[in-house]
Chain A
Amino acid sequence: MRKEVFNLKLFLSLIIGILGLIFLFFNFLYLYAPPVAHPYTIFEKITTAHYHLIEKLPLLLRVFFLDFLEELAFLIFLFLSPLAIFLANKAYESTKQNLAIFAMLLNIINLIFSIFIGWVILGLTTGAM
Chain B
Amino acid sequence: MKLAEITILLLVMPLFLLTTITAVKAAGEAIVTDADSVWHSGLFSASSDAINSTDAPTQNLIKYAFVSHADSVWNSDLTPPSADIIDSADTLEENLFKYAFISHADKVWHSGLISPSSDITDSTDAPSENLITWAFVSHADSIWNAELKESGWEGRQPPEKWSFAIITDLHIGRGYPDYDGQGFEDGYSGEDYYLTKRLKNVVKWINDNKNNIDCDGAKCPIQFLVVLGDIADSAEKSEFLKAKEILDKLNDPNNDGNTSDGIPYVPLFGNHDVWPYTNSNNATSALGERYFDQIFWDENETNTKLMKERLNFQRDKLHKNYKNFVFNYGKINFVGLDFNSRKPVPFGKGIGSDAVAWREECAVPVPSGTTCPYFIKKQEALDWLEKKLEEFEGEPVILFSHHPMKLSIAEAFSSPELSQLREILKNKSVVFDFGGHIHSFEGILGKFPWVANANKEYNPINSTQVITTEALMVGSNGRGVEKATKQNGVVDGKKGIIRIVKVFGTDDIRPNNWETTEKGDEFVGLNPNFDYYPVTIGGSGMPIGYRFVAKYFTERKISKYKWDFGYPIGEKEGEEVFISIDEIQQGINLETYEQTGTGVKIPVKLTLVDEKTQEGESIPRKEKVYFSYAYLIIGPSQNQFISLRNYQKLTVTTENRNGVEALINVSHSPSTSVGIITVNFGEAKDNIDLSELIADSDIEKGKSILYMENWPKEVERSKILFIPKK
Using a CB–CB cutoff of 8 Å, the interface residues on chain A facing chain B are 8-9, 12, 16, 30-32, 34-38, 40, 48, 51, 59-60, 62-64, 66-68, 71-72, 76, 79-80, 83, 87, 119-129
Q: Known: A40-B485, A129-B353. Is A34-B345 also a contact (CB below 8 A)? A: no
Which residues on the A side are within 8 Å of B14 (C-beta)?
Answer: 64, 68, 72, 76
Contacts of B329-372 to chain A: CB distance below 8 A:
345, 347-354
A119 surroundings in chain B (CB, below 8 A): 444
- B387-427 vs A, CB cutoff 8 Å, 1 = contact: the mask equals 00000000000000000001111110011100100000000
Q: Are B345 and A63 in contact (CB under 8 A)?
A: no
Q: Kindly report which residue of chain A lies nearest to residue B437, judged by CB atoms.
A: A129
Q: For A32, A60, A127, which residue has the most chain B Cβ atoms within 10 angstroms?
A: A127
CA distance A129 to B446 in the complex (A): 11
Q: Any chain A CB within 8 A of the CB of B18?
A: yes
Q: What are 6 A-B pairs with beta-carbon distances under 8 A?
A: A36-B456, A38-B485, A63-B414, A80-B10, A123-B444, A127-B271
With CB as the reference atom, state the residue of chain A lying closest to B351: A127
Q: Does B188 contact A (CB under 8 A)?
A: no
Report the minimum CB–CB distance from B402 to chain A (whole Å): 11
**In the complex, are the beta carbons of A35 and B439 less than 8 A apart?**
no
Instruction: Collect the chain B residues with CB atoms within 8 Å of residue A67's CB.
Output: 18, 409, 414-416
Decide: A38 and B457 in contact? CB cutoff 8 A. yes
Contact B459–A37 (Cβ < 8 Å):
yes
Asked if A125 meets B353 with Cβ closer than 8 Å, knowing A40-B483, A87-B3, the reply is yes
Instruction: Find out whether the CB atom of A48 lies under 8 angstroms from the CB atom of B408.
Output: no
Contact flag A62-B459 (CB < 8 Å), given A38-B485, A40-B483: no
Q: Establish whether residues B415 and A48, one from each chain, have CB atoms under 8 Å apart when the complex forms.
A: no
CB–CB B353/A35 < 8 A: no
Check A30–B407 contact: CB distance below 8 A.
yes
Beta-carbon nearest neighbor of A79 in chain B: B10
Total A-B contacts with CB atoms under 8 angstroms apart: 128
* A128 to B487 alpha-carbon distance, docked (Å): 25
A contact residues around B18 at 8 Å (CB): 60, 63-64, 67-68
User: When the two chains form their complex, are residues B487 and A38 in contact, meaning their CB atoms are under 8 A apart?
Assistant: yes
* Additional 18 contacts, C-beta under 8 A, given A38-B457, A123-B445: A30-B408, A31-B410, A32-B450, A35-B458, A37-B465, A37-B487, A38-B485, A51-B459, A63-B415, A66-B415, A71-B409, A76-B11, A80-B11, A87-B3, A127-B345, A127-B350, A128-B443, A129-B437
Which residues does chain B contribute within 8 Å of A126, judged by CB atoms?
Answer: 345, 347-348, 352-353
A125 to chain B minimum Cβ distance, whole angstroms, is 5
Q: Is the CB of B416 within 8 A of A63?
A: yes
Are A125 and B483 interface neighbours, CB within 8 A? no
B32 interface hit (Cβ, 8 Å): no
Asked if residues A59 and B7 are in contact (CB atoms below 8 Å), the reply is no
Identify which of A62, A79, A83, A87 contacts B415 (C-beta below 8 A).
Answer: A62
Is B438 an interface position by the 8 A CB rule?
Answer: yes
A125-B352 in contact (CB<8A):
yes
CA distance A66 to B407 in the complex (A): 9
A16 touches B15 (CB 8 A): no
* Cα distance, A123 to B419, chains bound together (Å): 26
Give complex CA distance A51, B458 in Å.
Answer: 11
The complex places the Cα of A63 from the Cα of B615 at a distance, in Å, of 48
User: CB distance A129 to B439 under 8 Å?
Assistant: yes
- Do B410 and A124 touch (CB < 8 A)? yes
Complex CA gap A34/B407 in Å reads: 8
A-B pairs, top 4 by smallest CB distance, nearest first, are A127-B350, A37-B457, A66-B415, A128-B443
A122 to B458, CA, bound (A): 23
Contacts of B466 in A (CB 8 A): 37
* Contact of B443 (CB < 8 Å), options: A48, A64, A80, A123: A123
Docked-complex contact A124 and B353, CB < 8 angstroms: yes
Whole-angstrom CA separation of A82 from B408 in the bound complex: 26
Q: Are A12 and B437 in contact (CB under 8 A)?
A: no
Q: Are A35 and B459 in touch, CB under 8 angstroms?
A: yes
* B407 and A127 form a contact (CB under 8 A): no
Instruction: Check if A59 sits within 8 Å of B419, measured CB to CB.
Output: yes
Of B19, B350, B445, B466, the most chain A CB neighbours within 10 A belong to B445
| Complex interface: chain B residues within 8 A of A59 (CB) | 416, 419
CB-CB under 8 A from A120, the residues of chain B are: 444-445
Q: A51-B459, A126-B353 are in contact. Are A72 and B409 (CB under 8 A)?
A: yes
A23→B15 CA distance, assembly (Å): 15
Q: Does residue B144 face the partner (Cβ distance < 8 Å to A)? A: no
**A66 vs B408: C-alpha distance in the bound complex, in angstroms?**
9
- Closest residue of A by beta carbon distance from B453: A40
Task: From B271, B353, B407, name the one whose CB has the most chain A CB atoms within 10 angstroms.
Answer: B407
Complex: A8 Cα to B567 Cα, angstroms: 76
How close is B174's CB to chain A, nearest CB, in angstroms?
10
* A residues in contact with B116, CB < 8 Å: none
Interface centre among A48, A63, A119, A124 (most CB of B within 10 A): A124
**Which residue on A lies nearest to B450, using beta carbons?**
A32
Interface flags, B2-14, vs A, CB<8A=1, else 0: 0110010011001
Instruction: Assess whether B499 is interfacial by the CB under 8 Å rule.
Output: no
Write out the residue numbers on chain A whose beta carbons fall within 8 Å of the beta carbon of B465: 37
| A53→B615 CA distance, assembly (Å) | 47
CB 8 Å contact bits of B266-296 with A (1 = contact, 0 = none): 0000011000000000000000000000000
B441 interface residue, CB < 8 Å from A? Answer: yes
Residues of chain A within 8 A (CB-CB) of B4 are: 8, 12
Nearest-neighbor residue (CB-CB) of B349 within chain A? A127
Nearest residue in B to A16 (C-beta to C-beta)?
A: B7
Tell yes or no: B460 within 8 A of A by CB: yes
A8 to B487, CA, bound (A): 51
Q: Which residue of B15, B354, B406, B445 is within 8 Å of A34 (Cβ)?
A: B406
Closest to B275 in A: A127
List of B residues within 8 angstroms of A68 by Cβ = 14-15, 18
Cβ-defined contact, A125 with B410, below 8 A: yes
Chain B residues within an 8 Å CB radius of A30: 407-408
**Is the pair B19, A60 in contact by a Cβ cutoff of 8 Å?**
yes
Say how far A7's CB is from chain B's closest CB, in angstroms: 12
Listed residue (B19, B416, B486) with the most chain A CB atoms within 10 angstroms of its CB: B416
B22 interface residue per 8 A CB criterion = yes
Q: Give Cα A68 to B22, complex, Å.
A: 14
From residue A1, how far is it (CB to closest CB) to chain B in Å?
Answer: 27
- Structural contact, B272 and A127, CB atoms closer than 8 A: yes
Which residue on A lies nearest to B412, using beta carbons? A34
A31 to B409 Cα, complex, angstroms: 9
